[in-house]
């Protein structure tokens, strides 16, 4: 249900308020351009600076506008277990297909604390849950053993792996089996990630290159009938400069600038993030041109 190219949706702002009209256009842009799934209110959607009501609003809009055409896995994680349960319950109530839940940041829980956090959410909710493991932002790293314990629970179905450690794909596959969904959170390693048994990405780059990202995933997924090593390598070569450019400064400032150049939305971000520098703009523009997006 949630394989292939899934976009970590940006949240557009106008005068520092949610720009509902533009957000709706973005959702339909993805419906019409090959994206396989939508992830609202994640890191790329600037969830740390969304109010509780804004967080719920972007998920509601996503579910309503996608109207079953694409699955929605809402970002509902928090470093407060109670808040994560609340956000996940709301996502379930309004019709989200699942939840993407980040490992608790700042608190630095033990592996047992991680297990109990996800178990508490699992026990209170009834939709599929994807673990989001990103030690670079949350400080702690969920072990393969802890994931294996969580996979025994009814709602845990997979992981968005942003560790950058490709050996983790092999270890997870060996320990949890091929039914446990592995998605990369690092656009730049998607080719090798899929070669090792991954089945997709939750992508930043898909915000601006949905068709290329979707085609790349079709050709690089070894379980796909369209698997084509040469074509996946060709598309990866086009995408790599874009992937690099999207992380030249803190995400999502670069992708929002790229989206502005493509006429998709404004490049406004909320403090403490700021817009990209002129030097970064040049690199982003060249990457867009190289990919023939402009």
Instruction: Find out whether 34 and 5 touch, Cβ atoms under 8 Å.
Output: yes
> Where would I find the beta strands (DSSP E) of the chain?
4-8, 13-14, 17-18, 37-39, 73-75, 98-102, 129-133, 156-161, 181-184, 200-203
Catalytic position from the list 115, 132, 151, 257: 132
Determine whether 106 is an active site residue: no
- CA-nearest of 109, 183, 121, 197 to 153 is 121
Please say if the pLDDT value at position 1 is more than 80.
no
Confidence class for position 225, pLDDT limits 50, 70, 90: confident
pLDDT the model gives residue 18: 98
At 111 the pLDDT is 98
For residue 222, what pLDDT is reported?
84
CA 191 to chain centre: 16
| Mean pLDDT over each residue of the chain, to the nearest integer | 97
105 is catalytic: no
What is the spatial distance between Cα 216 and Cα 70, in angstroms, rounded to a whole number?
18
The domains of the chain are located at 4-227
Q: Could you tell me which of 260, 278, 251, 258 has the C-alpha nearest to residue 209? A: 258
Catalytic site residue from 160, 256, 260, 281: 160
Determine the pLDDT at residue 109: 98
Which CATH superfamily, name and number, covers 4-227? Aldolase class I (3.20.20.70)
Rounded Cα gap, residues 45 and 190, in angstroms: 21
User: Mind listing the pLDDT tens digit for each residue in 43-79?
Assistant: 999 999 999 999 999 999 999 999 999 999 999 999 9
Q: What is the pLDDT of residue 165?
A: 97
Per-residue pLDDT of 104-136, as tens digits, reads: 999 999 999 999 999 999 999 999 999 999 999
């Amino acid at each position: 249900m949630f394989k292939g190219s899934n976009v970590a949706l940006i949240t557009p702002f106008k005068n520092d308020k949610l720009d509902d009209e533009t957000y709706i256009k973005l959702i339909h842009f993805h419906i019409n351009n090959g994206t396989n799934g939508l992830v609202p209110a994640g890191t790329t959607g600037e969830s740390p600076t969304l109010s509780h009501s804004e967080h719920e609003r972007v998920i509601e809009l996503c579910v309503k506008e996608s109207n079953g055409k694409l699955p929605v896995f809402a970002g509902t994680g928090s470093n407060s277990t109670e808040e994560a349960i609340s956000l996940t319950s709301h996502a379930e109530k309004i019709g989200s297909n699942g939840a993407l839940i980040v490992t608790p940041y700042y608190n630095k829980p033990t592996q047992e604390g991680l297990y109990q956090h996800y178990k508490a959410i699992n026990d209170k909710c009834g939709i599929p849950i994807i673990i989001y493991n990103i030690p670079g932002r949350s400080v702690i790293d969920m072990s393969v053993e802890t994931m294996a314990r969580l996979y025994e629970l009814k709602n845990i179905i997979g992981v968005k792996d942003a560790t950058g450690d490709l050996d983790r794909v092999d270890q997870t596959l060996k320990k949890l089996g091929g039914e446990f969904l592995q998605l990369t959170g690092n656009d730049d390693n998607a080719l090798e990630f899929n070669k090792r048994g991954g089945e997709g990405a939750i992508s930043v780059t898909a915000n601006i290159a949905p068709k290329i990202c979707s085609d790349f995933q079709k050709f690089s997924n070894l379980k796909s009938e369209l698997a084509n090593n040469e074509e996946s390598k060709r598309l990866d070569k086009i995408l790599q400069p874009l992937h690099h450019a999207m992380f030249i400064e803190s995400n999502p400032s670069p992708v929002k600038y790229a989206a502005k150049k493509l006429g998709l939305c404004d490049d406004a971000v909320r403090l403490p993030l700021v817009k990209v520098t002129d030097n970064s703009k040049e690199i982003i523009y060249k990457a867009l041109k190289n990919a023939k997006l402009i």
